[in-house]
Structure 1
């Protein structure tokens, strides 16, 4: 069986701050959506084809965490460019860029403005 990430949700306590952080980090604009539920806000990430693949969420039952499952976000074409934007955007680098063996690429870990632990991956 083969698999890939189909969808991810990054919880926030301050929705606007979290959106600004990720828009700055990835030099992009997230698309805000409001599902039928009045208790949930979403700001969508898109893949290279423009298809939504995950979001920043805000609502009841969504709590930021620095423990649990670790999601690696694509930092292509260069992890260095994304890492350089983390601290100015209000985040904290937890694991500096590290090369993986066998040409798997590079990774780094960071804490976002909401207290979530996330990671980056890039081939370069």
Structure 2
């Protein structure tokens, strides 16, 4: 199950918003709320104000460029394996299968449909 508040806040740059929305919907089964802020178009991930943490957005705009180097976002989930299995069918590329990080759980890493390097983390 996708945690609707995966991190404090994040913005994932995209060049093709419909393609990026399709990819993240396919992998995480989320619906997006669309928002325009000036020249930027944002697809907002779900947000639950009662839960700790916050959400984020896919963002297309003149100051956003997808990148596979630099800061990485890790999505929290119940188990990374079934979600990683959806990555390539959704248009991404699997970079690291489910891997133990000892007492801290498991991670997996993929490149999304836009070229961003993104991670997943689960306790099991």
User: How would you bin the TM-score normalised by the shorter chain?
Assistant: 0.7 to 0.9
**Structure 1 position 13, deviation (Å):** 0.7
In the aligned structure 2, how far is the partner of 1:32 from the partner of 1:97?
A: 31
Aligned residue pairs, count? 117
Matching of residues 56-75 of structure 1 within 5 Å: 56-74=58-76
CA distance in 2, matches of 1:79, 1:17: 22
Partner Cα separation in structure 2 for residue 95 and residue 70 of structure 1: 14
Does 1:111 pair with 2:111? Answer: yes
CA RMSD of aligned residues (A): 1.8
Segments of 5+ residues of structure 1 without an aligned counterpart are none
Runs of 4+ in 1 over 3 A off after TM superposition: 47-52
Which 5+ residue runs of structure 2 have no aligned equivalent? 1-5
Structure-2 separation of matches of 1:28 and 1:5: 15
State the TM-score, normalized to the length of structure 1: 0.87
Which protein has the larger Cα radius of gyration, Structure 1 or Structure 2?
1
User: What TM-score results when the alignment is normalised by the length of structure 2?
Assistant: 0.87
